[in-house]
Amino acid sequence: MHHRTLGPFQVGAIGLGCMNLSHAYGVPPSPEQAEAVLLRALDLGVTHFDTAALYGFGANETLVGRVLSPYRSRFTLASKCGMTGVDGKRVIDGRPETLKRTCEEALARLHTDVIDLYYLHRWDKQVPVEDSVGALADLVREGKIRAIGLSEVSADTLRRAHAVHPIAALQTEYSLWTRNAEIAALDACRELGVSFVAFSPVGRGFLAAALSSPADVAAFDAKDIRRAMPRFQGDNFVANLRLLEGYKALAAEAGCTPAQLALAWLLAKGGHVLPIPGTTRVAHLEENLAAAEIRLSAGLIEQVETLINQATVAGPRYNAATQTEIDTEEF
């Protein structure tokens, strides 16, 4: 796999988002299946693994630490603080003392002395971002983390944070059907020399053409976070399904799968863009990573962008309550 710059690190162009192995989409895979995915990713040249304290309320960091710590020198390890599980509930807390405590707990779960890239998972709007980043800068000076990242913040907030300490990466949802980063964040990252890490690059499964009818959504696990996302609900989802026939035809024209088309499109959006698809299956992992070798023509890129964009996708990406927790620009 060819490499791209992630802050001070060189990593494979496509990384692995580890969340799915412990969190968010219902019952997680067995420990054996999760271990198989992580080890196969390492075998295939993945050198960028992304986890967080929130995922499984610590379970994902524990999994990554158990499976991958024997190979620690072979990859760049990213995790996140500022959004954790407290008494069974998700809590956003960006106070310096909380971030430092979370880091200590993460280091223990991950079986490592240092986390390469540590993100503020969400900006706690009750705490100046300068204070939260200042705490992370202390962790850099103490040698507990090597670089600082931010997640789901606006270009303006990125600039404020960057003035306190250099920000290595901004992580935000970005895909054909979530284009908010194109308003300002991508340009700000390019201007400041910040890497852009794209999570949910396959549209939470939608751009893999894994869903074909409302019955598929009805079959989601009760704890699947997509149940609360407007794009997967009612008339919005029915409207979005109409995009898939043309999208699958474009993937066939490109000689790849729909998921690979979504990832190849992201890689074509700029050398500072690094997608981190997640999966629970080795076969899907192998399919995703193969997208690094696909090159799309300018004409096909134009066609797919015309088909799927903020004007053609029905519904916002988050419900109103979740939207209040993020800081990204919105169309």
Q: Quickly list DSSP for 53-76.
A: STGGGGHHHHHHHHHHGGGGGGSE
- 48: CATH: 3.20.20.100
- The pLDDT confidence band at residue 87, using thresholds 50, 70 and 90, is very high
Domain that holds residue 49: 3-323
User: Does an H or E element contain 123, and which?
Assistant: none
């993945």: which residue's tokens? 46
Percent of the chain whose pLDDT exceeds 70: 100
The percent of the chain in helix, strand and coil, each rounded to the nearest 5, is 50, 20, 35
Is 328 inside a domain boundary?
no
Catalytic-labelled residue, pool 55, 174, 247, 318: 55
Does the pTM surpass 0.95? The reply is yes
Known catalytic residue at 118: no
Region 57-73: what's the mean pLDDT? 98
Give a yes or no: residue 221 inside a domain: yes
Answer whether 254's CB lies under 8 Å from 296's CB: yes
- Residue-wise pLDDT tens digits, 266-320: 999 999 999 999 999 999 999 999 999 999 999 999 999 999 999 999 999 999 9
Distance CA 331, CA 264 (A): 24
In a domain, 329, yes or no: no
In a domain, 12, yes or no: yes
pLDDT digits (tens, 9 = 90+) for 188-201: 999 999 999 999 99
CB 134 within 8 A of CB 96: yes
Q: What is the model's pLDDT at position 1?
A: 85
Any domain includes 17:
yes
* pLDDT of 322 higher than 90: yes
Distance CA 49, CA 77 (A): 5
* Total domain count, the chain: 1
pLDDT of residue 262: 98
Q: Give, in order, the Cα–Cα distances in Å from 40 to each of 197, 255, 279, 285.
A: 22, 24, 12, 8
Is 330 within the bounds of a domain?
no
Within a domain: residue 98? yes
Q: What is the pLDDT of residue 61?
A: 98
> Residue 81 domain-assigned?
yes
- Which tens digit of pLDDT belongs to each residue from 1-21? 899 999 999 999 999 999 999
* pLDDT tens digits, one per residue of 216-267: 999 999 999 999 999 999 999 999 999 999 999 999 999 999 999 999 999 9
Alpha helices in the chain (DSSP H): 31-43, 59-68, 96-110, 129-141, 155-164, 185-192, 214-218, 234-241, 244-254, 258-267, 282-290, 298-307, 320-323
Average confidence score pLDDT of the chain: 97
